[in-house]
Structure 1
Amino acid sequence: MRPISLEIEGLQSFREKRRIDFETLGETGLFGIFGPTGSGKSTILDAITFALFGDVRRAKNGTQGIINTHCRTMRVSFTFELVRDGIRKRYRVERISQKKKDSENVTAVKLARLMELTGAGEIPLCDKATDVTNKVTELIGLNKQDFTRAVVLPQNSFQEFLLMNHSERRRMLERIFYLEEYGKQLTDKLNRKIDKVKSCIDTLTGELRGYNDASDEALKEAREAMENAAAEKEKALKIFKELEQQYNQAKEVWQLVQELAEVEEREKKHAGMAQEIADGKTRLARAEMAVLLVEPIRKNRELAGRLKKTTELLTAVENRLPIVRAELMKYRKHYDTLKNERAVEEPRLVARRARLEDALVLKDEIASAAEKLKSLTDLSAQLENTLAQQSLEINRETEAYGRLVGEAERLKKEWEAHIVDPAYRKRIQEGSRLEEEGDRLKKSMTERMEEAEILKKRLKDAEDRLEQARKAIADGQEEAEALAREAAQSDSLLKEERQAIEKEAQELQDIRGICRIIRLRRERMAELESRMEQISRLIEESEEKRRVLQSARDEAEASCDRYRRQLEETERMLDKGAAFRLARQLKEGDPCPVCGSVHHPNPAGSADLEEMSVLETRVGELRTGLQSAEKALREAEAELMVNGEQLATARSQFEQAKDELDAQTRELEAERRKLPESLRNLEPNTLEAELEKMEKVLDGRRKELADGERSQEALIRRLQSQKEVLSEQKAGEGGILSELKLNRERLAEVESSLEEAKKLWEANCEKISRFLADWSIPSIRGELERLAQSDQRADALRRELEAINHQLAEKESAIGRLKEKLQAIRAEVIKCKAEAEHLEKERKNREIRIHQLVGEADIEDEIRRIRDRLEAYETEEKELADKLKTLETDYQNLQNEQAVLLSQKEALTRDLQEDESHLKKALTDMGFNGSEEVEKSLLPEAEINAWKARIDEYERTGIKILADRERIAQKLNSRTITEEGWQKISQAWQEAVAARETRISEYDIAVHRYQDIKAKHEKWLELNAKLDEAGKKMSLLEQIRKLLIGDKGKDNSFIDYIAEERLRYVAAKASETLGAMTRYKYALELDADNGFVIRDNANGGIYRMVNTLSGGETFLTSLSLALALSEQIQLKGQSPLEFFFLDEGFGTLDRNLLDNVIDSLERISKKERVIGLISHVPELRSRIGRRLIVEPPTPDGEGTRVRIEKA
């Protein structure tokens, strides 16, 4: 396939019709497409793929938004050549789309057609969008995906084939190298031969199934084997009866011995937990006492913490007081100085700032006017120059327009002379399709006649084999039904007996479980009654002690109230004398320790010093008495609290025990009601004896059931064997029926299709004869060639006329635009000059006004300096005022806080000493050495409950273990057996059973085999000879098929092998190109799974996965692979691929690497294969001799333009 030309109109950035001549571009074998970003370079590749396949890869849904925004329709026409049967043929594919009325982005197909260009003219091949796409795919043998991976590589898609997974790459290679049909034809031919031989082998094998082992030696051996089997059967039956009774007794004892060992293991594990349970009981008792001390300990720690915190706060306050007073005096002095200075300076600075701001406004207006004046001057000069150029351009365009009008009239007359009647052309094309249809129908008839003969032979063979298979199935079915009836009857009886035994065993087990639970319930009830008696005595003692403690607390509380009233009265009298002592110490100018004032106008009056001394002594005595009374009150309250908690705990424990006793009583009655009516009122010993009696009866029935099950198993084995034989026979019958059905259906289809094909062929021949007579022509193909020549000339003239008409419209539009632009430029020149004179006058007036306001000073610096000074005054005064207010508040607060903290410290010290004494006594009374030991003894409620449940479970488990040991010992009745003894007896019995079954089966087989061989010996000899001959032929055919399907066992393995070999060749060619581009730094190879890997020769030849390559490495590898692949592609297996396009990717290469790539491309490009590159890299443009320059759309609405440039 070789591109000839491409016409684009209305596609993306292309607005007007543009034509690209690939014959001129490809003269040297290598050309480039260059232009800035967004100019429309990639649109050229979009146009090729749209012309061939009807969509654009980059567009949504393939077609949305691809029409130029200034156009309603879009047209693309692509002309290319293909080599078919050694003859080069030229085709043109053309597509026209238009925007839908209700959407600017959605497009609709207006025209699509594919034509073959011959010397006789254009021959239309199809004229529908879908048909055009399918026909193009058929012609070139590539779909759109393969085309954009191997021939035209769009932006960001050059690496797709390199990174494609194995299965996708294999399918692509099958398509582009046309391997499917070759593999299918070869496989079908082989399968037909195999089916024929296999049919023969199946027939012989089916007959031989009834004659196996029928030779003379086999007949003699069968008779001897039958006699030996009879003797061995009698011997095995005798041994089996002797061992059966011994085995049943040993089995019972062994099961009981294993059960006893399990109980002993449980008993050992239970004994190992005894110490752990005892420790748990001790921990529970300590935890119950520790709970009573939790609250006193918490209260003591809280008092200690409060005292520590109060002491720390008091120390901090006393250290802070003198520092705050000194800082307060310093800031008062600084604040007064600043306030006086601001009152003098601030009015003068504000007036100066106002004058400067007026001058600054005038300065900005002068600068703005100067810039505008300069712009107007420059613009006026440019407009004068443009005015002269526009006048010259208008004259040139008018002369060219006149020449084009004359040429257009000449071409129109010549074109009208070559127009062909469309109706006549259509009728001739219809006649050509009749000839093609006749050739196809004749070929179809021949194929169907051959297939019908093969199917008839297959039907005859299958019917013979079906008759033999059905006779064998009838005999086997009768025997299987008899065995099934016997097995069903036996299974029903055994099932009823098994269900009855299991039901009784489960009921007995449930009764034993209920009995154990009842015994445990009774033991637990006795424990609870004893515990309730102990708790009742403890509650009575605690209530008596509580009454005594209540009386002591009331007396201590009355004493405390009396002491407090006397102390408050005495302290009020003493406070009056304290004020006088403080007033005597005051000095004028020093601050008062109470109010902080430095002036003292009304100090307190005098007091009697002797009376003050008496009051102070009395206060000390009352405080001592109050402390003693409060101490006695706290001790009484602590003891009363401990007693109350102990009493509440005892009452709670009593209620819990009572509730549990009631629950145990109810549960005991509920368990008794679960027993059968006959066992509810029995004593424990009598109940146990009754249960043992029921167990012995149940064991007897189990033995009888086991004997019946063994007999049933033997019967089922015989039935299963017969069913397997019957299933194989039916499977063979089903296969023959399926084969018959398929062959009959296929034969009917072939015969019907053959008859229809004959009718169609005869009708077609008659139509062709009438067509030639009606139109009076000797040959349809010759007439088509004549019409094509006329069409070719008319089309060439039409294109020339369209081009000239388009140029006329462009010239006319351009002349009008130039005249309008000339008039606008003249008006703009006049406007610029007037505005410049006005600006110059305004500038001079403003400069005079600025000098009057500020003289020579810098305006901005002066305004900034004044603003900073005013802000500094305001900020500093506010900060000093805030600081003074804060310091005065802090000083007063510190004095008040000091007095409060002193009082709190004294009270907390007394309370802590008394509380520690009471706590120590309580710890000693309950046996604890300290608070830490109490905390360690505490347990979470969940853990306490868990320990209680665990202890209860431990005791119940012990009871159950004893009960199980007694039950097993009674059953054993002093019997025992070792594991070695049991294994010896069990093995001997199993061997006897196996020997008995084997000998019986061997005897039956020997009898049957002897009778069968005797009847079939002669027929076996004849069939075996025929089978050997067919087997040798089948072996040769199977060897051929194995070679075709390969090791993987797939139908397409031979095709895979050819595709892999082609891929290896492509990889080798790509590696040569890659080595040349990279100076043999890299090589491309295939791994074990036929995936691509890179060998990095610069790093010691290590292998790298292709997905680890950098951008530039990936581009070079993909380019080499795509070039090698395009070189190997033969379109439809006939036409070589003669061009290759690559869009972008060169920007990832450095300069040296880019030079290597261009050198390699120049070497491998040639006239037989054209390589086209799209890029915006400047270095690449300078190296390529043939260049297509793409210029972007202009602001005035003109679309993308193209031109060819030669170096």
Structure 2
Amino acid sequence: MKPLKLTIKNIASFTGEHAIDFSLLGNMFLICGKTGSGKTTVLDSLTYALYGSLPGSRRQNEIRSLRSDFCGPQEECYVELDFMLNGKTYRVRRTLPVDRITRNGTVAANAEEVELYRLDGTEAELMSRQKSEADSLIQSLISLSADEFSRIILLPQGDFAEFLRQKSSERKIVLSKLFPIERFTRTAERLKEKRNSLSSMLEEVMGNLQRLEQAFPGSQAGERIREYENEAEKASKKCEELRALLFDIQTESRGLEEKIGLHGDYEAAVKELEKLLSQADEQKADEENLSQLREAVRIEPFLDAAEQAQAKRNRIQKDSADVQSQLENLARIKTDSESRRDEYERFRERIPELSSLIQNAQLALGAAEELRTAEQRLCGIENGIQNESAAIQSINEKLEPLQKIAQNEDSLREAGEAAERELFATEYLHLKALEKDAHKTESDLQKTAENARIILNGFSEERENIRKTSGAYFLAQNLEEGKPCPVCGSLHHPHPAESEKQTLGLEEKIRTQQNLCEQAERSLRKAQDDKKELQGRIAQSRENLARFTEDFIAECEKEAENIDTASVAERQKTARREREKQAAAYTEFEKACALIREYEAALKIPQEKLRELEKDKAAAQAAFEHGQRQLADLLSRIPADIPQSGQAAAEAEQRAQTVQNILTSLRGERERLENAVRAYDEQRTRTEKAIAELTGKEAVLKSELNSSEKENDSCRTTLYEAVENSVFVSAARDITERIERIRAVLQNKAYINELERKIENYKTEKQRLEILCGEKKALLSGSLEEMQAARERLSLQKNETEKDLGESENALADIRTKLSDAKAKAGEYEHLEKRRKELFAELADYEKIYNAVSGKNPKKIQLESWILQMYLEEVCLYAAKRLERISDGRYTMYVKDADGGRGYRGLDLEIYDSYTGKRRACSTLSGGETFMASISLALAVSDTVQAKNGGVQLDSLFIDEGFGSLDDTALEKALSVLDEIRGSRCIGLVSHVASLKTRIGARLEIEKGLTGSRIKTVQG
């Protein structure tokens, strides 16, 4: 990932919009400025644009701190970054949340907005506007998480310096975030879970085996199964014998039952025949009823024809009477209509007059509506004039106090410059006082180191003198038994020369004094490093003073000659408070000026509206007066006899309502007359038409009545002849009674088929029973009493046999149940034993693997610690080469070989010093040495991550602070290393060290002001 352009608006100390074009800065540039000016804000903005969070431990809860304190609560705050990755260009824009007031008065925050684009020339293709989706896309593109980015791309020097001084347990946590060991951790957890699961399963199987052994010993299973099988075979044979005996008994019983059944069948058939013969009289009555019903059905068509002819004649007679009555009513209606003809003719003449009056009333209504509209418009204009006048007055009242504040601009600016001048002066004086203290400290430490070295030289000379006077002792140190003495040649040395006691004490003093010398020199080097850093800050402060007059600078220089730290501290606090006070006052002044411009712009709007309203008022007044005259003229044309036509209303609503009432009255009268005339014409037409239709219908009905009389006489004659020739002649003396008898018989017409079936069934059943009785009687043989006694005997024998069979089958079932249970337990025992062996073998394998990865191994190291050790050794390999180069071959970094406790072995670092030939802990390094080691370590982590993951392109590096602790030589070495590794990378250095400006031409200068910081780009 390589940044191309960063745009920020109202972020942290920056007010307004600021853009950084990284393409103008080359591959290495410096981000410099005073403390608190906003150098680190540039790196924060990069991280926030990509990940929506801040570097390090600040994270989400401090995102709101990015919002500038100099901007208004509703002003937009955003970060926009264009960056290149794999030859493609992307743009991401994030807008910070803004607080808003809800309807119920509470404060709520709008959500953060994010947009991700793919850029192709001048075209921008939107990839996402959803925060979660955009975050996921960016992380997949860069292949680094926010933690990895903040540690690998930003290279925070303080963090890596802290990493050098951390304990093994703390260092393990940091390495776990930098390198992917989650899958190894998960593997160890899964192995533990699998081992525990297998152990639980084995315990469960062992418990089941123990319970089964107690209930059913496995050694006796075969013998029990054989016993149960023999008993089952014997019981099965006995059951088969009893079933055969039972079958013979049942066969004999069925034959006997058939013979006994023949006697019963014969007796039943005889009883059924006797019952049927008792129904002979009923059968005879049914035959007589069937004969009469068939005769009545033959006469039924003649009876129906006579009845239909009679009904037709009666209907025609009734229709004829109805027509005659209707003709009489229509004649009376026609006479009444003729008497009212003149009245309705007058109605016809009145309708056109009313239409003309309605037209005039409609015109008057339109005029009244126009008059009301004109009056409303006039009232609206007058209200608008009042509102705009009130708005102008309100704005003028707000402007008056703001204009008083704006008149103090010159005094505020002068006071602010004076406060800033005093603050810069006190800062410079404070640094100069610290420089005096640093000179004194350096001088004292230099004297201490020289004195310690003089004492050490004295001890060394004394030791050398003793050596010269005690040569025999030093020769005796090299004597070995069996080898000749270089002085006397003896092979035995019973009394070698001894050293004086003072020599041993002197060696202890020399070692102690050497430690004191080293400690004094380290303290001196640290004091010199601190002094160099202080001189850089003084140079920066001197540049700040260069903005003022030479006399002021000379006055500060003169005052610095006699200043001390204690006297300038309170003055510096007062200057800072005064500057903050003046900055706040100037901020209020700028806000007042902004409000004045807003109010002056807002004042023009109501003034312009007021002028336009004054013009519109004259036109509206003229339109209102014209409408009044037009309405009065139209109302005068309506006759006085129309209701409400003479009323005059003063108000607009009353005028319109009066005209509307007149129009409604005219329309109602016209509608009434039109309806009356229309109803009269329709009634007259209907009456004449109905008279003509009924006259024709009367003639038709007379003709139909003559024909129906003849038809009725003919049908009745035919019916009488049919009745006289039927069986019903003897049923009654009169023809009418005979016909009624026929009608009564015909009511049972639906049962004719049923009677026919009943009679036929009787005959058929009688014949069948007579034949059956003859056949059953021929089959009878033997005595019924003997057969019943034999049946009783067989029943007793069957019951005893079934009882014996049931007992034998129950015994067989019990034996088979025991046999099945024995076989099942034997199979279960075999299965559990097999499962136990399998689980035991599998658990042993997993136990070995888990012990290997969990630290229960000969080296007592966990898998994740071993993986991190491999990563750390690779990082240390890269770091050692760079550290050796920066330190001119003096220092090299190693992973400590000593064992660590609790699984942290191999995670300690140490530094080899070629000057002393010894290794020492990282915590003993000075400030400059720590920077050299931490920059080497940071770059090594970056190299390791890129080497391990080919998908990660580390095209950018940003190094934040740490250069102030280096001397000129070490600084040049560090810059040369960075220059070697940059290649096509973009490397940014964040520092306030003044000397870096002369070494790095391209830079971003962050200038701090009273109302916020600004960015100045200087091209190399």
TM-score range, shorter chain: 0.3 to 0.5
Larger Rg: 2
The alignment's TM-score, normalised by the length of structure 1, stands at 0.29
Identify the structure with bigger relative contact order (alpha carbons < 8 Å, sequence gap 6+).
1
The alignment's TM-score, normalised by the length of structure 2, stands at 0.33
